[in-house]
Amino acid sequence: MANYLKRPQGTEDVTPARIHKWKTVETVTRAVAESFGFSEIRIPTFEVTELFQRSVGETTDVVQKEMYSVIARETQFTLRPEGTAGTIRAMLQNGMLAEALPQKVFYQLSCFRHERPQAGRLREFHQFGVELAGAASPYADAEIILLGKTVLDRLGLKDIVLNINSIGCPKCRAAYQAALRAYFEPHREALCETCQERLVRNPMRLLDCKSKEDQAIAKDAPVILDYLCEECSAHFEAVKSALTDMGVEYVINPKIVRGLDYYTKTVFEFITNCIGAQGTVCAGGRYDGLIEQLGGQPIPALGFGMGLERLILTMESQECAFMEQQRCEVYLAPMDDSAKPTALRYANALREMGVRAEFDLVGRSFKAQMKYANNIGTKYLVVLGSNELEQGRGQLKNMETGKQTEIRLDTAEHFTADYSDISLTDQFGE
Ligand code: ATP
Ligand code: MG
């Protein structure tokens, strides 16, 4: 196949056969976020590169290795690798942080990272994310985590373990970074090249390294929880007790440091072991320093990102229910050209009533139309022949039960009156 006919590596097409899975996660994430009082925000697909360097951080994999950047008319832009930086930029630029706080927004967007493609790791992927700006309370941390958990529950997912940790504030982290440096220094030669540099610039990042050798070296590294200052420690205790109050189970995992530099205090991941090595379906935490670092007021904030592809993979592996695939409800089969105007008229009358109606557009023979109606899985079929037109009556055939009901074809009102059992709402409220 010619190269231009192949989609770029690490990208996916979502064909109509799979779109109902996407609609399921999009509908549920939106409904849950709105029920928590979050409003949707839409931001550009690309930003000035410096935004990500300043927020995500110079020592992260994302900025060091994974950005898609272009220079256009002398300005360097980058396709967003995540949603937080652009969202905070938008809050600042639109004066949202000068309004009553907290600001609570959610988004569903594509992200771009130049990674090695594998199951659950793409170069273009999609995130549902939430950001909450202007709340320092540990209840905000618990609320965000509960929002993520509600989404997972609502989608019917099971056995997803909530891992939490606190990575403290810059104050407690200084002592911790020093302890990490002392621990890793004797192993310097054995570390991967990136980690040798991290050892100098940001040793905590070493704990996030994906290399098996480095992970083995990091096994007995000092644990941040032993270095938390009084305030961070009290905050973490309060988050844990709020989670316990709400019946949210968690495990404490001191290895969770998150790949992005802007996190402080609480960090968390929801992890499944159903989809292989890339099992983090949702990851987030508090980033109290970010807004100030980008030139705003010192406003505490927090949020998470949920990978929609990984969510769908997990749902598939656990055989969770998706929304029903869209299908034809009433198929009108004109037997010859003279019945087509009637088919067109009634199809439209049905659509006005919210019924999905179709009729033959390609001049199939009667037999071929029957076969086609079956293939598209229509719920009802109406044959329009000369008899039916003359008598002004036809048969509405339920394709599942085979049951036929006589219907009047003389007025659209009568025609549509028999469709009360076609329900356009399903379990997802669509
Ligand atoms: P990982 O450790 O898997 O590389 P990360 O720390 O880079 O993750 P975040 O930046 O926190 O990930 O992104 C939030 C979520 O987005 C992840 O938990 C995951 O569900 C999803 N995600 C991240 N990168 C990818 C990717 N390349 N392909 C698909 N989903 C991704
Ligand atoms: Mg990553």
Q: What pLDDT digit, counting tens, does each position of 195-225 carry?
A: 898 888 888 888 888 888 998 999 999 999 9
Percent of the chain with pLDDT over 90: 67
Average pLDDT, stretch 51-55?
A: 93
How high is the pLDDT of residue 6? 97
How high is the pLDDT of residue 411? 60
How high is the pLDDT of residue 122? 97
Strand partners, 415: none
Would the pLDDT of 389 be above 70? yes
- The residue whose CB lies within 8 Å of the most ligand 1 atoms, and thus the one to mutate among 306, 308, 310, is 310
How high is the pLDDT of residue 197? 87
Would the pLDDT of 176 be above 50? yes
How high is the pLDDT of residue 419? 52
- Do 261 and 59 touch, CB atoms closer than 8 A? yes
Considering every ligand atom, which ligand is closest to the CA of 210? 1
**Closest ligand 1 atom number to CA of residue 280:** 18
- The residue whose CB lies within 8 Å of the most ligand 1 atoms, and thus the one to mutate among 87, 110, 111, 312, is 111
Would the pLDDT of 414 be above 60? no
| Helix/strand/coil for 51 | helix
How high is the pLDDT of residue 94? 98
Residue of 362, 175, 158, 430 whose CA lies nearest to 371? 362
Helix H or strand E encompassing 77: strand 75-79
Residue whose CA is at the smallest distance from ligand 1 atom 7: 259
Question: pLDDT-derived band of residue 64, with 50, 70 and 90 as boundaries?
Answer: confident
Going from the Cα of 291 to the center of ligand 2, the distance in angstroms, rounded, reads 22
Nearest-angstrom CA–CA distance, 394 and 410: 10
> Residue for token digits 């990984």?
310
**Closest ligand 1 atom number to CA of residue 283:** 18
Going from the Cα of 316 to the center of ligand 1, the distance in angstroms, rounded, reads 19
Average pLDDT, stretch 87-91?
A: 98
Eight-state DSSP code of residue 362: S
Rounded to 5 degrees, what angle do the CA atoms 161, 42, 67 make? Answer: 70
What is the token pair recorded at 133?
């700006």
> Residue for token digits 């290895």?
255
| Helix/strand/coil for 324 | coil
Considering every ligand atom, which ligand is closest to the CA of 122? 1
Please tell me if the CB atom of residue 214 comes closer than 6 angstroms to any atom of ligand 1: no
Please tell me if the CB atom of residue 253 comes closer than 6 angstroms to any atom of ligand 1: no
Residue whose CA is at the smallest distance from ligand 1 atom 4: 259
- 330-421: CATH topology is Rossmann fold (3.40.50)
How high is the pLDDT of residue 84? 96
How high is the pLDDT of residue 253? 93
How high is the pLDDT of residue 98? 95
Please tell me if the CB atom of residue 280 comes closer than 6 angstroms to any atom of ligand 1: yes
Going from the Cα of 190 to the center of ligand 1, the distance in angstroms, rounded, reads 27
Question: pLDDT-derived band of residue 427, with 50, 70 and 90 as boundaries?
Answer: very low
The domain limits of the chain are 19-169+229-317, 330-421
Going from the Cα of 32 to the center of ligand 2, the distance in angstroms, rounded, reads 26
Please tell me if the CB atom of residue 272 comes closer than 6 angstroms to any atom of ligand 1: no
Question: pLDDT-derived band of residue 66, with 50, 70 and 90 as boundaries?
Answer: very high
Average pLDDT, stretch 7-19?
A: 96
Helix H or strand E encompassing 139: helix 138-154
Would the pLDDT of 180 be above 50? yes
Please tell me if the CB atom of residue 270 comes closer than 6 angstroms to any atom of ligand 1: no
Please tell me if the CB atom of residue 81 comes closer than 6 angstroms to any atom of ligand 1: no
Please tell me if the CB atom of residue 122 comes closer than 6 angstroms to any atom of ligand 1: yes
Beta strands in 238-379 (DSSP E): 251-252, 264-271, 280-286, 301-307, 330-334, 357-359
Considering every ligand atom, which ligand is closest to the CA of 256? 1
- 19-169+229-317: CATH topology is BirA Bifunctional Protein; domain 2 (3.30.930)
143 alpha carbon, distance to own chain's centre:
18
Would the pLDDT of 77 be above 50? yes
Going from the Cα of 170 to the center of ligand 1, the distance in angstroms, rounded, reads 24
What is the token pair recorded at 215?
């992970």
When the pLDDT of each residue in the chain is averaged and rounded to a whole number, the result is 91
Would the pLDDT of 259 be above 80? no
Considering every ligand atom, which ligand is closest to the CA of 129? 1
Q: Which residue has the higher pLDDT, 34 or 402?
A: 34
Judge whether 19-169+229-317 and 330-421 match in fold.
no
Least confident of 219-223, 349-353, 414-418: 414-418
Please tell me if the CB atom of residue 135 comes closer than 6 angstroms to any atom of ligand 1: no
